[in-house]
Structures are given as structure tokens and as C-alpha cells.
Amino acid sequence: MSSSSKSQDLGSLLSDSALFRTQGYINGQWVSASDGVTFPLTNPATGALIADMPHMPRSQVAEAIDAAKTALPAWAALTAYQRSAYLLKLHSLMEQHAQDLGTILCVENGKPLAEAKGEIAYGASFMQWNAAEGLRTYGQTIPSPFPGTRNMVIKQPIGVCGLITPWNFPNAMITRKMAPALAAGCTVVIKAPAETPLSALAMAVLCERIGVPAGVVNVVVMDKGDREAAAGLELCENIKVSKISFTGSTPVGRLLMKQGSSTLKKLSFELGGNAAFIIFDDADLELAVTGVIASKFRAAGQTCVCANRIFVHSKIYDQFAKLLAEKVGAFKVGDGMTEGVTIGPLVNSRGVEKVERHVKDAVSKGAKVLVGGEKIDNGDGSCFFQPTVLVDVPRECAVAEEETFGPLAPLFKFDDEEDVITRANSSEVGLAGYLFTRDLARSNRVAEKLEVGMVGVNTGVIAQACIPFGGVKQSGFGREGGPSGINEFQVDKLITIGGM
Ligand code: SIN
């Protein structure tokens, strides 16, 4: 694939072009890389250059941390109500600018505009949820065995937080971390993903507009490679950072954990998945097809919770495969800004190569392609792969073991409940799992046995701000959102009062 020499005027697509920023945001200032180095940001649907972005060195990450540390006492001293008011304003601005924020997201990430706007609503919901959660960070009083003594536990902000976010949800994975951190009274340094920095910067614009004080929210940007690794190292090794919240791959999670050990960072990690999607023979097949489509093809299959291994009972296998193939064959693949497009590109050519490898590997071992199966080479550096359904997929193949992160639905056959649970649990990761059945006892039994942090029963959609999102095994630890999400950004402090 050759790279396109075109460039794209993103600002002209926006009604508020000031949301399109191409500098980092440190201590309330818009800044280029201190040594002027930039890297090209391209549109994965067209290969066109969107902007030259700052390729910031480690020293600027340290500056951002210093700014966050300086801003911390005043932000922490606000009342929870004052911080909640900021979050509600951000929520309302996100709703107001959903079209522009969605356009920025669509152009840098590739997901279709309607889906991108859906992500903005999802991202905004973390603001709303945490605006309310911040008001309810109750402490405790604990009876003491000592006479004249009272024990009180209060919740305090943990401090400066390093937020390392992925490109697959350029907006919502930032707000999922930033909203509880701010609500708890923490300040943040966001390391924006190299593939999708513009959505992070647009959020910084909104923070600036509503008067979030300088240093409370900082966004650093750099390309992949040495400087990105150096940014991670700075966030992990800098003693002024108290907490790292990371969403990304398991190998990077392992590295950050090692690096963070030198300063005993509190960590929460949402890492890779390999979700099993189990369809029993009593399932409502139309519902199951809708569930697979929602889970597997959201963000062109580039989500950590998406169905990776689809297990279908042998009695309904052929019927289900036919129904799914009809729907997948009707997808419209293309530039997400084009009306009617339902599947966009993958974020980069590495993503395309991985899907291609998984398809070839499965086919070489006996699988058959029902729909799709090929990459789409437009000769312009764009990154498309046909939405694909594979049948007769063998038990042992790459797609059974690795997360594809692309629009590939492999259908495995099963006959027995215990066997399918064993196969589902054979993965070293455990983020999400799904099952479709009309049998209430089975749904509870299987959901309890799946070794994952989240189970969808008769639905392919689990993500909401109000649920504890996170995994087990090598999918990480800590929960984002839900009733416990804000705790990740707080510490319990005991105050024992004697002599009463
Ligand atoms: C992810 O893929 O990392 C997050 C997906 C979600 O929030 O549903």
C-alpha cells in the first residue's frame, strides 16, 4: 500500500473549528514539542494527512506532572459539589458539541460518524455518572475497643494520576478515567494515544472553556516508539504521580507494572480480552445474531470486550451461520464520514495484517470463508478489511488463542455445556464473556463459571458508565465506572480520636 499524498482540512468539517487543536496542553497552555519535532497524523479511511502533531520528549511529561502536582491542593480543596458542577458542565458541552467531537473522532479513528457520536454520548455519560458519584464518597465511623476513642475513615484524593488511554475509544476511555479522577479531587496527566490525539485535545479545549484551573488536566502527545516508552517511564517512575490508570495490551500492562514498582504506584489496568460468545441451542437466534453484530463489529471489531471466539451449538450451527452471514454481507464498508457506511477502516496497517493472518491461519487448518476474508487495498494507505464470517473453525488456531481486534467472526461448533465452558476458560485473559439461552438455570450456572470480569446474558452490549468495568486473570485489575469506580482514585484515611 502506498501512502496518500493528500491532506485533509478537518477544521472545515467542524462548526466550531477551535475544537481541532494540534498542540499538547500543559499547565493551561497549548504547547508544541519543546524541540519542535512533529509526527504525521493520518486518516485511516483515506491515508490523508490530518495534522502534524507534537512529538513530545520525556521532559515535557515531567513538566505536565509538575503542573498537575502544583494544581492538586486547590483542586482537592474544592467541595465535591464544586467539582461535580465542572463535570456537569463538561457533560453538557459534550452533548452540545457531539457532532464536531464525533467528526474529529471519526476522522482520526475511522469509526462511522453515527457510531462516533454514540461514543461521545457514552463518553459524556462518565461525566454525568461521576458528577453524582463524587457527592457520595462516604467515609465510615468504626466503633473502637478503647474507651473514649472514636474511629473515623475519610476518603481523600489519591493525588496526581497518569491516564494512559487507547485509540479504540479516543473519547470515552479518557472520560472513563478523567471523570472519576477529577470528581475525587485528583489532577491528571493524560498520555493521548498517538493514533487519536485530537479527541483528547478537544476534551482539553472543553476543560479550558469551562474554566478548569491550569494544571488540573494536562494532555501530552507523542508518536509511538521511544518517546512513547519514555512517557510511560516518566509517569511510572516520577514520585509525584500516585496512580496509573491504563487501558491497553497485556504486555504493556506488565511493563508498566514493573516500571511502577520503583515508586509503588497504585494501578488499575484494563487489558486485553478474548471474549467467548456462547450460543446455546435454545437461544433466540435473531437476538443472538443482533448480539454478535453489536459485540463483534462495534468499532470494526477493535474493542477489548468484543466477541473473539463465537461458540455455536451444533444443532443450530448452520442456521445461525446463514443468518449472521446475511447480515454481515449487507454491511457497507467505507469512510465513516460517508452517509450509510456501517463499518470503517482499522486504525492502521498492523491491524489489517493481524486479521489477515488470523483468516489465513484458520483457512489453512480447515475453516471456510462464508463472507469477506480479504483486505481491501485502495492503494492510498487506507486500512480496510472486509467484514468476515468463518465457519468450521478448528479448535486450535490463532484466532482461538489471540485477540483479533478486527472484523472477523469465527464460528466454532460445540455440543456440550461443560466442554464449551472449559474452552471458553482456556484463555489466559478474562475480560468479558457472553451467552445466549432461554434457560434461566443455565444462564446463571454458565455466567458464574465463566472466568471473566463481565458477562452479557442475551445481550452483546455490556458497556455503561454505571457498571464495574474490568477483568480478571491477565485482563488486569481494578474497576472503572459503577459504584466502585471512583474508589480507584481515592485513599481511605483513618482518624482516631482519643481522650473523649
Ligand atoms: C475497550 O475496548 O477497551 C472498552 C470497550 C467498552 O467500553 O465497551
Distance CA 327, CA 293 (A): 8
pLDDT band at 5 (very low <50, low <70, confident <90, very high): confident
How do residues 471-487 score in pLDDT, each as one tens digit? 999 999 999 999 999 99
Q: Once rounded to an integer, what is the mean pLDDT over residues 260-289?
A: 98
Q: Taking the complete model, does pTM exceed 0.95, yes or no?
A: yes
**Residue 463 Cβ < 6 Å to ligand 1:** yes
Q: Which three cell numbers stand for residue 247?
A: 487501558
- From 270, 417, 451, 488, the catalytic residue: 270
Q: Is 270 a known active-site residue?
A: yes
- Looking at residue 187, its pLDDT comes to 99
- Looking at residue 1, its pLDDT comes to 37
Pocket test for ligand 1, best of 119, 125, 129, 173 (most atoms within 8 A of CB): 173
Residue minimizing CA distance to atom 6 of ligand 1: 463
Radius of gyration of the chain (CA): 23
**Residue 300 Cβ < 6 Å to ligand 1:** no
Tell me the pLDDT of the chain averaged across its residues. Answer: 97
- Looking at residue 103, its pLDDT comes to 98
How do residues 386-435 score in pLDDT, each as one tens digit? 999 999 999 999 999 999 999 999 999 999 999 999 999 999 999 999 99
The answer to whether 372 and 328 are in contact (CB under 8 A) is yes
> CB-based contacts of 34: which residues, under 8 Å, 6+ apart?
56, 57, 59, 60
Distance of CA 275 to the CA centre of its chain: 15
Distance CA 236, CA 215 (A): 19
The percentage of residues in the chain with a pLDDT greater than 70, rounded to a whole number, is: 99
Start-to-end CA span in the chain (Å): 77
Please provide the DSSP assignment of 53-115 as one string. Answer: EE---HHHHHHHHHHHHHHHHHHHHS-HHHHHHHHHHHHHHHHHTHHHHHHHHHHHH---HHH
- Looking at residue 220, its pLDDT comes to 99
* The dihedral formed by the CA atoms of 203, 209, 215 and 217, expressed in degrees to the nearest 10: -20
CA of 299, closest atom in ligand 1: 2
Q: Once rounded to an integer, what is the mean pLDDT over residues 309-326?
A: 98
Handedness of CA 189, 192, 197, 199 (dihedral sign): negative
- Looking at residue 2, its pLDDT comes to 43
CB atoms within 10 A of CB 103: 23
Q: Once rounded to an integer, what is the mean pLDDT over residues 339-356?
A: 97
**Residue 218 Cβ < 6 Å to ligand 1:** no
The alpha carbon of 193 and the centre of ligand 1 are apart by a number of angstroms equal to: 15
**Residue 169 Cβ < 6 Å to ligand 1:** yes
**Residue 303 Cβ < 6 Å to ligand 1:** yes
Handedness of CA 453, 250, 384, 407 (dihedral sign): negative
- Looking at residue 146, its pLDDT comes to 98
**Residue 206 Cβ < 6 Å to ligand 1:** no
- Tell me which residue has cell 472545515: 12
- Looking at residue 4, its pLDDT comes to 58
Distance CA 347, CA 383 (A): 7
